[in-house]
Chains A and B, each alone.
Chain A
């Protein structure tokens, strides 16, 4: 029986004795959240969804924006420890350099949950980590295409993310795994669009020129929705109908792609959910209720959205989240 389990039992017992409330109830808890910053729309959405989730559960959320600096995150975590919060959520900006501050949290018996990125530190320094599986995202997108073309010949052009970034590597790998057994689907061209709309558009323009005006392209797979939005404009400029002449599948599920899906210009997107806090709160609730140790790596769902999934409604649900 290691120290964590003992602590867990003790904490669980204490919670059960003191509150005697519902097992899943974590209302009244004070939880600190050290966010990286707001460098992307998704990040902003994650912040607002975390706040929503905390409010729904009656959690008193202490929010700290690190503005992309690890030193700010370490300061924020030390601050949370000093305030004696019940738990700490961290979206780590980098993978290394967390041992000291997480050991301090452990000594103070405050469970730490990592959100959306892993770290290089002993696993006993944090309770669990909640993240998406980027390879799975690519695989879901690839599987959609395999099902959609149903055996017909299909040349795919791929708009990669920033060269060397982990989402680009993993989403490429997942997609390739999914289409590996479908000999009818081949990736004809692949270039980086740096995750941006304008580069996505520029690269797609070039692909259209080098593929017989687009006649040889059956589908475009973009590593994020923004590049897909750019590619859709390029396809329209070339006199083709995106979504029909050229299928469009991408990843992230930001609001603008739902507008495109509703208009029939994009076909499918795989969600990178901004709700990392929900599973984290659930894990904490179970941990406090009866000492259940969550799995070390909680994987969020990679849900596929198509025109059949009420794209207009999804747009309305997301547009105010800060994307």
Chain B
């Protein structure tokens, strides 16, 4: 039992996160300082949680999709749409719960549309979701008519910038989703079914798994997660910026999942490790910002660090240092 916990703690993602945080600390000695201010925690570590939350939420949805050997490129555009819908509705005078529900419904509809293209029409996921990636941002711009729609609704602003027990609301929402989705896929057979479809969809269907339904579920969940992230991002800046909200975040989400050890070829996946991947990415981003490097170096530093993380996770490194994601216990 102790050995199992130890081997889990020694996974490469956690080591990478600790490594990045330590580098940040060397560059900026006050990195770990956390103070209490205006009824909330305040410090760089809290920023990592807060700023990492949208990508973490996207990754929670994305990991299921990737485990089925798919990919969802549309999440950034769905974020923009959800934010646009929520913002325009509260500005038009609808109560916040209606606006949030409508935004989530839009996310679900987008996800199911992707799922329909992939599961029923059998279009390759990268192509199927590319459609909405391009069209979705256009739709968001149509909804906002090209403006940044600003709002003063306290509920939406609370979702984006509020705090719960001192922690940023965005991080709390991400944690709740993480627990919920992890329980859903690990305490039921759902996770196993997803992996089965990812490894071999035909075989899974023959084994009696309703793979079409399952694909609709995972793409639907990805859409809903994107909508949640979109509402958070809009609430954070008190406005829906259709041009920029969620721009390129689909790539960060995919990267988070990959850093989390889930293969793009589908199969075995881990929701908590994908979230850890998102935190690693954000720890790098925040580290670059507090380090004082000139901005021209941002992308180079980020690329170098990601390269390092991927090397640590490579099959070669795992042969030298056996700390790969543990295979679930089988009756052996």
Q: Taking beta carbons and an 8 Å cutoff, which residues of A are in contact with B?
A: 38-41, 44, 160, 163-164, 189-192, 194, 196-198, 201-203, 205-207, 209-210, 213, 226, 229-230, 233, 237-239, 256, 322-323
Check B289 against A191 for contact (C-beta < 8 Å): yes
Query: Chain A interface secondary structure, helix, strand, loop or mixed?
Result: helix
Check B238 against A189 for contact (C-beta < 8 Å): no
Check B30 against A210 for contact (C-beta < 8 Å): yes
In chain B, positions 121-150 with a C-beta closer than 8 Å to chain A are: 146-148, 150
Residue B166 interfacial (CB < 8 Å): no
B-chain residues with CB within 8 Å of residue A202 when the two chains form the complex: 47, 51, 285, 289
* Bound CA span A317–B133, Å: 36
Check B146 against A163 for contact (C-beta < 8 Å): no
Q: Taking beta carbons and an 8 Å cutoff, which residues of B are in contact with A?
A: 28, 30, 35, 37-38, 42-44, 47, 51, 146-148, 150, 161, 233, 236-239, 241, 243-245, 285-286, 289-290, 292, 294-296, 298
A198-B233, A201-B236, A323-B147 known; A239+B245 contact, CB < 8 A = no
Check A205 against B28 for contact (C-beta < 8 Å): no
Check A237 against B146 for contact (C-beta < 8 Å): no
The 3 residue pairs across chains A and B that have the minimum distance between CB atoms? A206-B289, A192-B295, A197-B237
Q: With CB as the reference atom, state the residue of chain A lying closest to B295.
A: A192
Check B244 against A198 for contact (C-beta < 8 Å): yes
Check B295 against A44 for contact (C-beta < 8 Å): no
Q: With CB as the reference atom, state the residue of chain A lying closest to B233.
A: A198
* Bound CA span A203–B295, Å: 11
B-chain residues with CB within 8 Å of residue A322 when the two chains form the complex: 146-147
A-chain residues with CB within 8 Å of residue B51 when the two chains form the complex: 202, 205
B142 CB to closest chain A CB (Å) equals: 11
Q: With CB as the reference atom, state the residue of chain B lying closest to A189.
A: B292
A58 CB to closest chain B CB (Å) equals: 28
Q: With CB as the reference atom, state the residue of chain B lying closest to A196.
A: B244
Check B243 against A39 for contact (C-beta < 8 Å): yes
Complex partner residue of A210 from B28, B35, B238, B296, CB under 8 angstroms: B28
B55 CB to closest chain A CB (Å) equals: 12
Complex partner residue of A41 from B38, B148, B233, B238, CB under 8 angstroms: B148
A-chain residues with CB within 8 Å of residue B147 when the two chains form the complex: 41, 322-323
* Bound CA span A201–B54, Å: 15
B-chain residues with CB within 8 Å of residue A196 when the two chains form the complex: 241, 244
A-chain residues with CB within 8 Å of residue B239 when the two chains form the complex: 197
A30 CB to closest chain B CB (Å) equals: 27
Q: With CB as the reference atom, state the residue of chain B lying closest to A254.
A: B148
A-chain residues with CB within 8 Å of residue B292 when the two chains form the complex: 189, 210
Check A237 against B241 for contact (C-beta < 8 Å): no
Give 12 pairs: A residue, B residue, CB < 8 Å, sorted on A: A163-B295, A191-B295, A197-B239, A202-B289, A206-B47, A206-B286, A209-B290, A210-B30, A226-B148, A256-B148, A256-B150, A323-B147
Question: Given A198-B244, A210-B292, A238-B37, 20 more contacts at CB 8 Å?
Answer: A44-B146, A163-B295, A163-B298, A190-B295, A191-B289, A191-B295, A192-B298, A194-B244, A197-B237, A198-B233, A198-B236, A201-B236, A202-B285, A205-B47, A205-B51, A206-B44, A209-B30, A226-B241, A230-B237, A256-B150
B-chain residues with CB within 8 Å of residue A256 when the two chains form the complex: 148, 150
A261 CB to closest chain B CB (Å) equals: 15
* Bound CA span A308–B246, Å: 37
Q: With CB as the reference atom, state the residue of chain B lying closest to A195.
A: B244
A-chain residues with CB within 8 Å of residue B146 when the two chains form the complex: 38, 41, 44, 322
B-chain residues with CB within 8 Å of residue A207 when the two chains form the complex: 289
Q: With CB as the reference atom, state the residue of chain A lying closest to B43.
A: A209
Check B241 against A239 for contact (C-beta < 8 Å): no
B112 CB to closest chain A CB (Å) equals: 28
* Bound CA span A44–B292, Å: 36
* Bound CA span A210–B4, Å: 39
